[in-house]
Amino acid sequence: MIHRAGVVPQPATAPLEKVPLESYLPPARPSLIGLSRAELAEQLAMVGVAPAQRKMRAQQLWHWIYFRGARTFDEMSSISKETRAQLKDHFTVDRPEVVAEQISSDGTRKWLLRLPSGDHLEQAHEVECVYIPETDRGTLCVSSQVGCTLNCSFCHTGTQRLVRNLTAGEIAGQVMVARDRLNDWADRDTPGGGRLVTNVVMMGMGEPLYNFEAVRDALLIVADNEGIGISRRRITLSTSGVVPNIIRTGEEIGVMLAISLHAVRDELRNELVPLNRKYPIAELLQACRDYPAASNARRITFEYVMLKGVNDSLDDAKLLVRLLKGIPAKINLIPFNPWPGTRYECSDWNQIEKFSEYIFNAGYSSPVRTPRGRDILAACGQLKSETEKLSARERQALRAMAMTD
């Protein structure tokens, strides 16, 4: 057991991964959001659209849903009234419902979203997503699970149960909600003339690679240039190190990769990120070396939360540089944001600067992520909202790790 200052011991019997408590229950009229063109055509067949028209109608639906952001079938003027009536009888184009919005003094927005799933017998599930505006970009942090599969000791969400995985529609729907709220669809004018949501990061609640298929399907929709149209180079998926799905991410999704590393020794990472006991550092870094299309132009980001007296020594910095040799990489240093009950403290600023300077001098970009949204508890690792009451004492939470460098 490690006894360095600030380390919170993990019980030996703590499970590495949690089991979902529930599964998705579709409503009587499911939303078409989250469906590919082929899946839209299948749904059209189910409501009696003639085979010769299905491909064309599916493309029309795709355009109205993902390019123009239509909220109802009545808006879809290029589709016949008869077909629209058929669709209204069986489907919706609902996205998550905004039940609360908070706006930080720095412009960060946090939305509490109720998911359009289940029926009147099922408790509504809620998640949060966070929008962080910058002068040259706008980053949206998106969730992949209600709760989280993992038990990372420094992360607030790691203390919560895993309720269920989100569907592809619920993931893509978070991007659509942001565009709704910001009036950011491609056929609408924005104050600066450009898009407001330019970057998407899968760094919210949940471990994306334990919900791989839904995350993949959603991100392919988000990246499609005939729809939402956010470049894959502007989409980043963050994982704690689910090694078997890292290569799949490169091959099947092709987005930028971020690794929640946080420690350079297995003994410490076993405590900070218990998944390391299953996929240790050497195995994780080999998967990064093998990541398809990794290059200096498509560097892998390594996230490293700065914990006082735990992982912030110059010896840690030196070992980090040695470990990443040969990997096109940049290192995001994240000042730890305290949350109620944590035993960790943020590293002193002088120590963070020394750590960053050593890495920079070794040839790696090492930005220190500026905390955003602290006044609305939207900063990295800080969020804990009443999004899911599982018992009288427990609530679901979301860490918003939105990249701003």
Residue 90: count other Cβ atoms within 10 Å of its Cβ. 14
Cα–Cα distance for residue pair 64/176, rounded to 1 Å: 12
380 annotated active-site: yes
Catalytic: which of 129, 148, 288, 380?
Answer: 380
Residue 315: count other Cβ atoms within 10 Å of its Cβ. 10
Residue 80: count other Cβ atoms within 10 Å of its Cβ. 13
Cα–Cα distance for residue pair 64/273, rounded to 1 Å: 42
**DSSP alpha helix (H) spans, 131-261:** 168-182, 212-223, 246-248
Angle CA 357–320–281, to nearest 5 = 155
Contacts of 240 (CB under 8 A, 6+ apart): 150, 152, 207, 259, 260, 273, 275
Cα–Cα distance for residue pair 110/124, rounded to 1 Å: 19
Cα–Cα distance for residue pair 95/173, rounded to 1 Å: 5
303 annotated active-site: no
Cα–Cα distance for residue pair 110/178, rounded to 1 Å: 10
Please choose, from the candidates 16, 1, 2, 11, the residue with its C-alpha nearest in 3D space to the C-alpha of residue 307.
Answer: 2
| Tokens matching residue 278 | 């299953």
81 by Cβ neighbours in 10 Å (0-12 / 13-18 / 19+) ranks as exposed
349 by Cβ neighbours in 10 Å (0-12 / 13-18 / 19+) ranks as exposed
Cα–Cα distance for residue pair 92/114, rounded to 1 Å: 16
Phi-psi map region of 305: left, alpha, beta (phi>0 left; psi -120 to 50 alpha): beta
Strands (E), 77-211: 97-103, 109-114, 126-133, 138-141, 145-146, 164-165, 199-202
Instruction: With beta carbons less than 8 A apart as the criterion, state whether 69 and 176 touch.
Output: yes
Residue 62: count other Cβ atoms within 10 Å of its Cβ. 19
Catalytic: which of 128, 271, 303, 388?
Answer: 128
Known catalytic residues? 128, 380
